[in-house]
Amino acid sequence: MQVKDKIVIVTGAGSGIGAATAKHFAKHQATVVVSDIKEGKAKSIADEINNGGGKAVVVAANVAKFEEVEQLINTTVEKFGQLDVIVNNAGIGPRNMTKTGEYSLEDWDSVIAVNQTGVFYCMKLALQQMMKQGHGNIVNLASLAGLKASLNNLSYSASKFAVVGMTKSAALEYATKNIRINAVCPGYTESALLSKLLSVRPDMDQMLKSVIPMKRYGLAEEIAEAVVWLASDSTKFITGQTITLDGGTSL
């Protein structure tokens, strides 16, 4: 895929889909800024990339804090002179999955802050830089939960529907500016979020697989391939799209 020498930020890159995406960009010769709220995890991924012959640096950031996102973007541009791609992957789920009437204010506030407001912060600041340099590419991580109902999961569902809407609105605004904005919507994927859910409700494993036509969970590497493809020069006429990777679940 055509991402060689591109400067790429991946948020939430310390594990799961973010880590797989960072490594996949590096495999295709992009320079990756590995960002995560947990600096130690980000460093581990960056070290793996660099030890394997790729190029990566670490910039820790909590995307829910505007000043930390500013520092992430500014540090990247100061070091490399530009920002070609940002992958807004950082995300969390609620501590407790429950019906809307019993949903905690803490779970609402924390999930919206990271998954929705954090994506807005990253898009806002990345777009300012991309307008200055005359090009750019944004890939947002939404979810199948941003396309269809998700029981007992209000804040997560609301945040991912918002990511889909923000992706489409911004893509329309910047379509003539040589800036493309797309989203991927993974279904049930092997990740920390899914592991957390199954640790609380192990009985859900077979139930979830039963609604996936392929009868398995997605792999982080499979999502990463779609992200890198959307960020590459192979997809110059694609913008404002949501690519669903769910093994057929939405069917």
What is the residue extent of each domain of the chain?
A: 7-245
Contacts of 53 (CB under 8 A, 6+ apart): none
With bands split at pLDDT 50, 70 and 90, how would you rate the model's confidence at 204?
confident
Contacts of 115 (CB under 8 A, 6+ apart): 91, 92, 155, 156, 159, 160, 162, 163
pLDDT of residue 177: 98
Q: Which of 156, 174, 188, 217 is catalytic?
A: 156
Q: How many CA atoms lie within 13 A of 208 on its CB side?
A: 20
- Model confidence at 31: pLDDT above 80: yes
The DSSP string of 186-236 is E-SBSSHHHHHHHHH-TTHHHHHHHTSTTSS-B-HHHHHHHHHHHHSGGGT
Active site residue 174: no
For residues 14-30, average pLDDT? 97
For residues 115-125, average pLDDT? 98
With bands split at pLDDT 50, 70 and 90, how would you rate the model's confidence at 193?
confident
pLDDT of residue 18: 97
pLDDT tens digits, one per residue of 147-172 = 999 989 999 999 999 999 999 999 99
Contacts of 39 (CB under 8 A, 6+ apart): 58, 60
Q: What angle, 0 to 180 degrees and rounded to 10, lies between the N-to-C axes of helices 16-27 and 220-231?
A: 50
pLDDT of residue 206: 86
Helix ranges (H only) for the chain are 16-27, 39-51, 66-80, 105-111, 118-133, 154-173, 192-200, 204-210, 220-231
With bands split at pLDDT 50, 70 and 90, how would you rate the model's confidence at 192?
confident
The one-letter code for the residue type at 147 is: L
pLDDT of residue 172: 98
- Name which of 20, 13, 67 is nearest 41 in CA terms: 13
User: For the domain bounded by 7-245, which CATH number is listed?
Assistant: 3.40.50.720
With bands split at pLDDT 50, 70 and 90, how would you rate the model's confidence at 174?
very high
Contacts of 162 (CB under 8 A, 6+ apart): 115, 116, 119, 146
- Among 91-105, 184-198, 212-226, which is the least confidently predicted range? 184-198
For residues 6-31, average pLDDT? 98
pLDDT of residue 201: 78
- Name which of 125, 39, 20 is nearest 83 in CA terms: 125
Structure tokens at 35: 């960002």
- Model confidence at 183: pLDDT above 80: yes
pLDDT of residue 78: 98
Q: What is the pTM of this model?
A: 0.95
pLDDT of residue 239: 98
